[in-house]
Chain A
Amino acid sequence: MRNAVLFVVCFLVGCDARIETFRPNEVFSLSLAKSRSTSTELASQDASRVVQELYGTPDEPLWPVADNNLADLQNLSRSSGPVSSEKDGTHRGLFREHCVVCHALEGSGAGPASVFQNPYPRDFRHGVFKWKSTERGQKPTRQDIRELLVKGIPGTAMPSFALLNPEDLDALVDYVVFLSTRGEVERRVTAAAIDELDYGVSSPGTELELNSSNETEGGEVVQQVLERVHSDWAEAADREVFVPPFADLSGKKLTDSIARGKGFFHGKVANCAGCHGPAGDGSLPTLDYDDWTKDYTTRIGLTPDDREAMKPFRDAGALRPRVIAPRTLRNGVFHGGGDPNSLYRRITQGIAGTPMPAVEVVSEPNGKGLTVEQIWDLVRYVRQLSTTQ
């Protein structure tokens, strides 16, 4: 009887289509085709196949590297697949429950609700993250991602998941690392297929064809990419930026420090005012874009506001290019955290994936960088700006 009812209901209304695969990164494939002036269709198809062999599907993820502390397969299993919960309250399908509506199934940042958000949700597949404790070009640590999940990003749609239990948070961190490594491997393997394995309109032959084993040249290239991406993540913990102790000043010392900081803010070395405006209110016009947008626009010679040129990319899933505006520093809202240590790191490293540059740390004042104390002066000025509105 129950089966009959099931059949009738399914027949009448249809069921959710099972999500068998991650969608291939068509936007990157198009960018690659434009920049290399060749067809990338075959390379993209093969890269997608190989990545699926290595990383599995949205419902059944795999972790291709053994003995790696980056991600636990059980956690990946908990985070993937459809949403459900168990008798003891354990939730499964955590990524679809909490993240997918913005970050999309592949972590492309082009989820259903993404178009309404400014800035757009992060595309994990580049392996580039803004808010982290490591050097600019490095991956974030697991702790960085966890802190971001707990604290959220004020002023954006990124929520605080502080109410989730620690196991859920760990599982989500693992899944973010999974999507990021998976996406970056896909990008790099596709590029390597064109640049190193003679992929074009036709297949390069068995020896050069992409595969997940290590027995052919194509397989070796895949393994090299895999090792590189995974070791970048594994080394992140060793690449944390050292932050010297911050002195909590008061009275005249604080006033003097802020006055010096103001000088650096407007000075030639840091030149913060050049983008954030003399008043620090982010009011200066800008025509720059973040790296995620440049990937399919300016870096391949396309103008972001050229609708005709953008159409194939938009059709492939790219979000409408949006100019990146320097933040106002006057409202007390810092997306990556407003504590002194975070601001120090932001000044000395810049913000990865954005035009925000780094200021070189020098041991003696030399007109090319700022000393540690000078940077702290600047930090005090920026913090003071946000409290004087």
Chain B
Amino acid sequence: MASESTLADRRYPGQLVHRLSVLLVCLVWPLIWVGGLVTTYDAGMAVPDWPGTYGYNLFLYPYNTWLLGPFDLFIEHGHRLLGAIVGLVAISIVISAYFKESRRWVLVLTIGLLIAVITQGLLGGMRVVLGDRTLAMIHGCFGPAFFALCAATAVTTSRRWKESLPRDGVVRVSSGLVALFATIPAMSYAQLVLGAQLRHVQPNAAPGVFAMIVATHVIVAFVLWFFTLAAWLKIRRCGDLTLSRPAGLLIGLVAVQIALGVGTWVVNYGWPSILAWVPGSTGFLVRAKGFLDSIIVTSHVATGSLILAVSVMLLVRLLRVRHCLNNPIKQTVHQQRQKHVDNSKEALLEPVTA
């Protein structure tokens, strides 16, 4: 125990990269919320130019006009500002990784992160310049993927990733288990894409196509829930809380997401006939642009992103465990190095190439 606390107190070279990555995760989820609100309020075209705002440099737009102006302008310009901050943090991550991170693939990952944030910014900008709903949908789908990438970066740059290795025999990571855990983010992302199709539906879309997407979205939601349950059952007693806890969390998140999905439908189209038994449903009145209703819809979008990020994080950790267990030589070297470090407070930690 003493050695653990010693480890926790000690700085390690990649700490800055990790802290910036966590900051990025903490910024991107609110960014997804605000972006979701922009779509919910149809405010995507509230600022018609890009990359500036009504001719101003993004950062020099008068703050009182922004804060005291129309709500559409407030959220759209706010979305852009927050996006710009996310971009700056991504740049900082690349710079810090260049100087502090010895693992080449992590540096490549952070560069990928920066390219992703630039791409997302360009997509958002093109959506405005072209006034294009398809681009808005792609922008909306790329956001959660970027968020998941941020979560993966935060996990892989953490101290735990570098220094703690799984105990052999506690969890057996078969290909089947990896496939099961890989299916969850794949399905989560498919759900996000389907949801985006419904949210950015084209005015002349055929009712049959819309109905098919709705049906698929609902069925896949319950299949995904089943998969999260199956995944948790597989690893609930693996002894590694970094696996079992997020897996349990996923079951709850998908349950909340299904409830939010029902809520989203209700505040948009009223109670479906299948839920006519719910008290008060027969006289329910849909209110266009209600604040609470908008929050329900936007929460559905944001929770979808959270599910994707948690499932990607879980998959990445599982792959790490599998990698370590399949490479016992490296594990032994690492454990010996770990032992050495624990015995010497002054010892400098050399990053392990995994």
Contact = CB atoms under 8 A, between A and B. Distances in A.
Interface of A: 2, 5-6, 9-10, 13-16, 19, 23, 58, 82-85, 87-89, 91, 96-98, 100-102, 104-105, 110-118, 152-164, 319, 331-333
B132 interface: yes
A116 B214 contact: yes
B179 interface: no
B265 to A, nearest CB: 8
A84 B128 CA distance: 10
B286 A160 contact: yes
Given A85-B72, A164-B288, A15 B135 contact: yes
B287 A163 contact: yes
Nearest to A5: B122
A6 B269 contact: no
Interface in B190-217: 201-211, 214
Interface stretch (B42-50, B148-156, B245-253): B42-50
B126 A6 contact: yes
Contact of B135 (A9, A96, A115, A152): A9
Contacts of B268: 113, 157
Given A84-B48, A84-B131, A115-B207, A160 B288 contact: yes
B54 interface: yes
B123 interface: yes
B288 A161 contact: yes
Contacts of A87: 54, 69-70, 73
Given A5-B122, A158-B286, A85 B210 contact: no
A97 B270 contact: no
Interface of B: 42-46, 48, 54, 69-73, 122-123, 126, 129-135, 138, 201-211, 214, 268-270, 272-273, 282-290
Contacts of B45: 83-85
27 contacts: A5-B122, A9-B123, A10-B130, A19-B204, A85-B46, A85-B70, A87-B54, A87-B73, A88-B70, A91-B72, A100-B203, A112-B205, A113-B201, A113-B207, A114-B207, A115-B211, A117-B269, A154-B285, A155-B283, A155-B284, A155-B285, A157-B270, A158-B286, A159-B285, A159-B287, A160-B286, A162-B287
Given A13-B138, A89-B71, A116-B269, A157 B133 contact: no
B284 A154 contact: yes
Nearest to B71: A89
Given A5-B122, A10-B130, A84-B48, A118 B207 contact: no
Contacts of B46: 85, 89
B288 A331 contact: no
B210 A112 contact: yes
A113 B210 contact: yes
Nearest to B76: A85
For the complex, would chain B's binding face be called helix, strand, loop or mixed by DSSP majority?
Answer: loop
A84 to B, nearest CB: 4
Contacts of A117: 269-270
Given A9-B123, A15-B135, A85 B42 contact: yes
Contacts of A115: 207-208, 210-211
Contact of B126 (A9, A100, A156): A9
A219 B265 CA distance: 47
* Top-9 shortest CB links A-B: A89-B70, A84-B45, A112-B210, A159-B286, A333-B283, A159-B288, A157-B269, A112-B205, A154-B285
Contacts of A23: 204
A16 B286 contact: no
Given A85-B72, A100-B203, A112-B207, A118 B273 contact: yes
A332 B280 CA distance: 11
A331 B279 CA distance: 11
A126 B307 CA distance: 46
A375 B282 CA distance: 27
Contact of B134 (A16, A111, A161): A16
A9 B50 CA distance: 15
A2 B138 CA distance: 19
A152 B288 CA distance: 9
A118 B289 CA distance: 22
Nearest to B44: A83
Nearest to A82: B131
A160 B210 contact: no
